[in-house]
Structure 1
Amino acid sequence: MGHGHPRHTGGDKSHPDFGAKQQDRVYGNFSDLARALAGWVEAKESRHREKELAHEVKDNSDVELHLETLLLRIRRWIDTRQADAPDGESRKWDDVRQELETGRTPGTGHDGLHDFGHYQKYFDRVLQERRDLPAPVRRRLRTGINGGMAKVLADPTRFTFRDKIIVLHDLMEYFGPRKHWNAPTAGNGTMPDEELAALTTTEIDADGQRTATTTDRGQLRFTGPRGPAALSTPAWPAGSPLCTRRSSSCANRSEPLSRGRRPPLPSPVPPRGRGTTR
């Protein structure tokens, strides 16, 4: 599968900022191409519903409150790890705090930059260099994070829903195994990938709980994905998106170490006035 190349068409289906999506996809044979085309057309109604549900989640104040509480828990987990670190690890957690405050590390990623945070770099660097996007659009797409994620962890209520999601994703990569697109961080390896993150659900019980799995994620290696749309199957057999699963793992790992070890979490402010930082 190739990269998407947005183009502005002005049509009703065109994204107001990015335009219509164009993607170059490569398939191993005509049968896979035909399945992918048929699946894409048949999944149109489901994709539309998926977008509606995404907007409902984004506009849900309860979801945002939980997200803010989660970020505060992660901050407290970092505080706990730093305070309780043995002598051999205390320098590491000092470096973690400094990197989260500045958004930079001594090493570099594949782009030669000292910055980390894949999602944040996309909005604050990659999109800002796109001259096919009008200047007002680029300004609107810029995050309010400005490099250091520590400020979002300190007071997530000052930031938009999108910025909080960006930080949760980038923290997952910051503390997870090193990814070549990011500069190495002091937190890399603190939260190793879970084996369950790579499993695909094949059976569920009446309550929707996973009862059987496989390591096959329903993709064609080295070619375009043959996912649920191409196979005309529900989305869950294709497995949870790895970013989602790893972010959930980050959240789950931060809670046990912080529970009962520090004063109660600060209470996020009511929904009114939330997310004003740009």
Structure 2
Amino acid sequence: MTSTASDPRDTTWPPPSCLAPTPAVAGSDGVTRFAGLSYATSPGYRPRLLDVHVPPVPAPAPAVVWIHGGGWLEGDRRYPPPTVPVELLHGAVLGAGLALVCVDYRHSLEAPFPAQLHDVKAAIRYVRRHATVLGIDPGRIGAWGESAGGHLAALAGLVRAGAHGAWLEGTEGVTGEDSAVRVVVDWYGVSDIEPLLARPLPPMPGGPSYPSPLTTLLGGPEAERPVRACAASPVTYATGGTPPPFLLVHGREDQVVPYSQSEALARVLREAGGEVTVRPVEGADHIFLGSAEVPAVVAESVDFLRRGLTG
């Protein structure tokens, strides 16, 4: 059997590293949706995709980049954690007049850090490059993530190429655009990895055979882990300029990522002159398990983003 994919005369293969979005038509609810846009590709990896949901507003909309969790090992741009209904998350963002950009990124068994940050930054650059077609204001983009996605959202808000080196920016997809964000919401993300390396993990979903999320993210030999952990930790990058406003939301009883991780990030953000709000969720474990406050937490997070992007 022959394959046109291997034919050098076939100009559709390999696909462009970032396909420009075609104009979309608004649905019956007035929301314009772009599904499965390829914002970056690399040989040997699945294409990185994002979805865009734009509410019916008269001017280009401020945008929130949503970054899913899953221990950097799994997860999907289309689904929030099981404690947060997708209708609640999407409805709250769009109802506030904000566009929602949901991104996938390489998992850690595909590539270790900083591949995940490279992908998030590539997605932001893609949105900026194609903002006119998407109906998004390129000057008003924020980041919001949960768990592993919270860690990446924090890094997206703190890592600046001029201050911290181009190696964290990456060259995937669109280049030549700014990857900065104006505001960050971080739900129970890791902020300082090294103290967690020696901490016993709670039972993982796949049992003893489930890879360690932290060591898999870092990659490399064990002797290099402290240096790699420092390089992958948001607390490392709080200096080098005033950070954007941060909202840190964390369950007090989180057994996967301790509440002290958000306290540590808040401390260094304040020392750097940043505006930071810490919102504890009393009695909540990871992904807010055991809490009835999820609707209130979603509403507060969206309001923080709205104020940061429209104020």
Task: Confirm or deny a common fold (TM above 0.5).
Answer: no
Q: TM-score, normalised by structure 1?
A: 0.29
Please, what TM-score do these two structures have when normalized by structure 2?
A: 0.27
- Per residue, is there more helix in 1 or in 2? 1
Higher relative contact order (CA 8 A, sep 6+): 1
Flag the structure with higher strand content: 2
Bigger radius of gyration: 1
